[in-house]
């Protein structure tokens, strides 16, 4: 019984953490992306395109390029 309760507690914390991460990401998008253009829907592009193409290029526009230097392959290989 304790194992089940421990598992349920862990799952509850994990779900709450994910929800908080999504809300934080949404706040960052509203703050930075919407400062220059309309806020796009996350469903507009596949996740890998956002992660490896769109966001790094937008980071360059915002002056944040250190993540691009840490990519395993050249940025053009992800697009």
Torsion angle, alpha carbons of 27, 28, 34, 36, to 10 = 160
Cα–Cα distance, 10 to 33 (Å, whole number):
34
Instruction: With beta carbons less than 8 A apart as the criterion, state whether 47 and 55 touch.
Output: no
**Average pLDDT of the segment spanning 40-45:** 89
Residue with tokens 């796009």: 40
* pLDDT tens digits, one per residue of 45-63: 998 888 888 888 888 887 7
Query: For the whole model, what pTM was predicted?
Result: 0.53
Task: Please give the structure tokens belonging to residue 50.
Answer: 């956002």
9-18 pLDDT tens trace:
555 555 555 5
For the chain, give every domain's residue range.
1-38, 40-79
C-alpha distances in Å from residue 64, one per residue of 15, 32, 47, 55, 61: 30, 12, 20, 10, 8
């Amino acid at each position: 019984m304790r194992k089940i309760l421990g598992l349920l507690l862990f799952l509850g914390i994990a779900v709450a953490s994910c929800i908080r991460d999504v809300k934080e990401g949404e706040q960052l998008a509203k703050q930075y992306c919407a400062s220059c253009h309309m806020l796009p829907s996350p469903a507009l592009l596949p996740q890998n395109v956002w992660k490896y193409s769109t966001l790094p290029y937008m980071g360059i526009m915002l002056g944040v390029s250190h993540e691009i230097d840490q990519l395993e392959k050249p940025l053009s290989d992800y697009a």
